[in-house]
Structure 1
Amino acid sequence: MNRPHLRRVVAGGLCAVLLAAGCSSPAEPAADPQPDPQPTPSAAAPSSAAVALDPLPVPERAAAVGTRRLTVTRGSRELPVTLWYPANGSGGTSADAVPAPGRFPVVVFSHGLGAAPADYRQLLVRWARAGFVIAAPTFPSSAGAQGPAGLMDVLKQPADVSAVLTEVLALDGRAGDLLAGHLHTDRVAAAGHSAGGVTTVGLFTTGRDDRLRAGVVLAGSALGVGTAFAGAAAPQLFVHGERDDVVSYASGRAAYEAVPWPKAMLSLPEGDHGASMSDPDSPGFRVVSQTVLDFLYWTLYGDPAARQRLSAGGERGKVGVLDAQL
């Protein structure tokens, strides 16, 4: 998030700590000094064409939102997960609400260093209202961390996300579970902000999870996880403020340029590191949220109208410019 201590920690330490781990360039995978099991990257060269989906009906109106919590464990790592999902009704957010009828695509979201899922509530609830199930883990060390331990922990987070995704998708077939029968288990994307953006890139490079159809990187880069994109084409959306003083715009742009698949980048000329992704009063918040929703409607709902809006590129409300290579 856009906090003073986060600026100090990330700007002053992220490069130094990850470089010490063996990341001499953004294109080289990280060497974790305490190796953790990772999903096996695809051996095949990355393909360039995204697999077309049969279109799903896009929700016609915003839903109410239900919330629930669960805990996933991966070895000694405990990962509390907050879920937001479309619920019956037309407004409000409530715990364990009855899900709206039908099945919904799943987006797993990774928070930034020193942050937590609740810091992104306004953004994630907006996505849930629009027809997505959002699963947001709290990572063991990078949540609230202000030192090297949290920074190094980012390198373990792609495997954490894959473990969370396995548990969440299993809910669809679990008799009696609140979300049983409500998840599109083959329509899944990953998203993340800052260090969570690095985590998201890692899910398509060193820790490739082949269940993911798309990625959304908010103010992130490829530092520590590299740009060896692998496996089936998974379109990527990057969002970055050009005045970001935590993760440089140039580093985000470099990661975007390395993506071999359909991609788009929303650049915010006056954008900083976090306000446009978390603060509803920020001029860029609505533009960022809607652009991400269009991207998710295209990649997970197969909505051709959303793809057309993205393909048009150009200015977004005079606060952003979209470069689309779809």
Structure 2
Amino acid sequence: MSRRPTPVLLATALLSVGLAGCSAAPAPTARPAAPPEPPKATTPAPRVPAGTAPGKTFAVGVRQVKLNRDGDRPLPVTVWYPARGGAGGGPERGADVADGRFPVVMFSHGLNGRPDDYAELLTRWAAGGFVVAAPTFPHTSRGADGNVLDVLNQPADVSYALDKVLALDGRAGDPLRGRLATDRVAAAGHSAGGVTTIGLFTAGRDERLDAGVVFAGTALGVGTAFAGAAAPQLFVHGEADEVVDYAAGKAVYDAVPWPKAMLSLPKGDHGRALLSDGAALRVVSDTTLEFLRWTLYGDAAARDRLPADAARGNLATLDDHL
């Protein structure tokens, strides 16, 4: 695949994507034949020191950070974070940050979406001990002009937002001062946000990233030339995806040269497992949370729990090369 196909090709693939929420899925399509099994990855992973993720569930706070890249790309960022107080309930705006230093996950929404569409999933990550920062993109969010080609600018948006979020750790008076593990960072995203996330490991490689989580993503426009230091990847894709074909996501996954796994949902469509399907969302959130605990906290026990979480309820299968 070329690194940057024509804009017409990218537009054709993504113009129909309304990724904030999808209707009922069509009947599953046949799953493509699996390629020969690659050997288990030998690159040491994760690259963070071995450690233990928090054993508790945190209350969750939420805040907004207003950013603007180059003066003409407004990027308001919603930040969910571990908070003081009893766990459970919805995120509390402006809640006091919990004690500790927490890894950062940058999340990219899909076309015609907004960060709040994914609040259920991102709140669970924050409750598990992560600061989750999600930009609202200037042209592909709901209510914007819908310029699909602007997806190609979004990896740079995420890197810029990451600069500013990490800087909060040293900003006098900021609630997140001294609370960010600035050397432990992952990127994640759904559909057009999955394209954005893949781009952060290929054409727009951000070397600060230790891991990636790609939901219903494709490499169209950003390529599969994964570059830089090894960064484990977890792909999540519905086999009945009516927007981004399962085979397209699997092809990107197959191209990843690093430790990797793919969570496949045989009855999953383009967005339900992230947005509305309770049982599938639990499988997806638990599996991704264990992956983040392993890659950003160095928690080997979380890595060992990952296959069991993926198998719960027989809703998904896991291709595991971590």
Q: TM-score, normalised by structure 1?
A: 0.83
CA displacement, residues 8-49 of structure 1 (integer Å, 9 cap, x when unaligned) = xxxxxxxxxx8532769xxxxxxxxxxxxxxxxxxxxxx944
Which of 52, 57, 65 in structure 2 is aligned with 1:57? 52
Note closer, same or farther for the CA distance 1:290–1:201 as it changes in structure 2 (3 Å cut): same
Note closer, same or farther for the CA distance 1:51–1:125 as it changes in structure 2 (3 Å cut): closer
Which of 81, 84, 90 in structure 2 is aligned with 1:88? 84
What is aligned with 2:300? 304
Deviation at 1:314, TM superposition (A): 7.1
Q: Is the 8 A contact 1:310 1:324 kept in 2?
A: no
Q: Is the 8 A contact 1:54 1:302 kept in 2?
A: yes
What is aligned with 1:124? 122
Aligned-residue CA RMSD in angstroms?
Answer: 2.0
- CA distance in 2 between partners of 1:269 and 1:103 (Å): 37
Q: Is the 8 A contact 1:159 1:207 kept in 2?
A: yes
Note closer, same or farther for the CA distance 1:113–1:58 as it changes in structure 2 (3 Å cut): same
SS in 1 for 2:147: helix
What is aligned with 1:192? 189
Query: Which AA in structure 2 matches 1:132?
Result: F
Which of 3, 11, 20 in structure 1 is aligned with 2:6? 20
Query: Which AA in structure 1 matches 2:68?
Result: T
Deviation at 1:221, TM superposition (A): 1.1
Deviation at 1:56, TM superposition (A): 3.5
Specify every segment of 5 or more residues in structure 1 that has no aligned partner in the other structure, as ranges: 1-17, 25-46
CA displacement, residues 56-101 of structure 1 (integer Å, 9 cap, x when unaligned) = 3322221111111011111110100000000001234211111110
- CA distance in 2 between partners of 1:314 and 1:293 (Å): 11
Deviation at 1:119, TM superposition (A): 0.4
Q: Is the 8 A contact 2:234 2:262 kept in 1?
A: yes
Quick one: percent identity of the two aligned structures? 61
- CA distance in 2 between partners of 1:195 and 1:220 (Å): 7
Q: TM-score, normalised by structure 2?
A: 0.84
Deviation at 1:146, TM superposition (A): 8.3
Q: Is the 8 A contact 1:113 1:150 kept in 2?
A: no
User: What is the aligned length?
Assistant: 285
CA displacement, residues 146-186 of structure 1 (integer Å, 9 cap, x when unaligned) = 87x52101000000000000000000011111000000000
Is the aligned partner of 1:79 residue 2:39? no
